């Protein structure tokens, strides 16, 4: 997952992506954003139906599997069809600039 596809703090991750595929048996969603692909474990989610091509927001912890594959263990998930992903990415860039400036110069706040 690249730096522009979501927000990650320690192991907490928030991601907005389009659903590429979903396995109900494995409770595993594959979401994409451009060339970035992320697998999401949905075993803790209830009452959420998945539609390939729809956009979802997931919040959870990033886990590194024994084979070094990164999987998001989703604690919260929701369909966010209609969100402007370009605007979302622009807001992430602004947030990262703000955080970088604040970390480099804490007196600015």
Q: Give pLDDT tens digits for 88-99.
A: 889 989 988 998
- Burial of 51: CB neighbours in 10 Å, binned 0-12, 13-18, 19+: exposed
Q: Residues 29-36: what's their mean pLDDT?
A: 92
Is 1 within the bounds of a domain? no
Alpha helices in the chain, H assignment, sequence order: 85-104
Average pLDDT over all residues of the chain:
86
What CATH number is associated with residue 26?
Answer: 2.40.50.140
Whether 101 has a pLDDT exceeding 90, the answer reads no
Q: Is residue 97 part of a domain?
A: yes
pLDDT exceeds 90 at position 30: yes
pLDDT one-digit tens code per residue, 64-77: 889 989 999 999 99
Instruction: Note down the domain range covering 65.
Output: 6-108
Q: Looking at the domain assignment, is residue 64 inside a domain?
A: yes
Q: In the chain, count H helices and then E strands.
A: 1, 6
pLDDT higher at 33 or 74: 74
Phi/psi of residue 52, each to 5°? -55, 135
Q: Number of folded domains in the chain? A: 1
Is 43 part of any domain?
A: yes
Is residue 35 domain-resident?
Answer: yes
Supply the pTM of this predicted model. Answer: 0.76
């Amino acid at each position: 997952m690249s730096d522009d596809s979501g927000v990650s703090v320690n192991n907490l991750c928030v991601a907005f992506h389009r659903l590429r595929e979903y396995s109900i048996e494995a409770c595993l969603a594959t979401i994409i954003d451009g060339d970035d692909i992320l697998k999401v474990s949905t075993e803790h989610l209830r009452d959420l139906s998945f539609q390939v091509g729809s956009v979802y927001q997931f919040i959870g912890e990033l886990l590194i599997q024994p084979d070094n594959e990164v999987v998001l263990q989703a604690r919260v998930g929701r369909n966010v069809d209609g969100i402007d992903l370009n605007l979302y990415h622009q807001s992430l860039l602004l947030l990262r600039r703000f955080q970088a400036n604040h970390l480099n110069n804490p007196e600015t706040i």
